[in-house]
């Protein structure tokens, strides 16, 4: 059980390094994060506006 988890962690770390080494993938992930943050902020603003008493 422990050996399996160790192998899984090793493969995950290897995948992570491979992804970080690829500039296009990192660019895409960063872009996705920015987009999600924008969407979240817009949703929060809409929620705040709708919750405010008129």
pLDDT in tens, 6-47: 777 777 666 666 555 677 777 887 887 888 889 988 888 888
Q: Residue 19: CB partners within 8 Å, gap ≥ 6?
A: 25, 26, 29
Contact 19, 26 (CB under 8 A): yes
Whether 3 maps to a domain, the answer reads no
Whether 45 maps to a domain, the answer reads yes
Range(s) of the domain holding residue 42: 23-54
Output the pLDDT for position 23: 76
pTM of this structure: 0.40
Structural domain tally of the chain?
Answer: 1
pLDDT category at 51 given cuts 50, 70, 90 is confident
Output the pLDDT for position 54: 59
Output the pLDDT for position 3: 64
Whether 7 maps to a domain, the answer reads no
| Tokens encoding 53 | 């008493």
Output the pLDDT for position 33: 83
């Amino acid at each position: 059980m422990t050996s399996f988890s160790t192998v899984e962690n090793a493969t995950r770390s290897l995948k992570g390094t491979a992804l970080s080494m690829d500039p296009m993938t990192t660019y895409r992930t960063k872009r996705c994060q920015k987009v999600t943050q924008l969407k979240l902020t817009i949703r929060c603003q809409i929620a705040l506006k709708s919750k405010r008493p008129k």
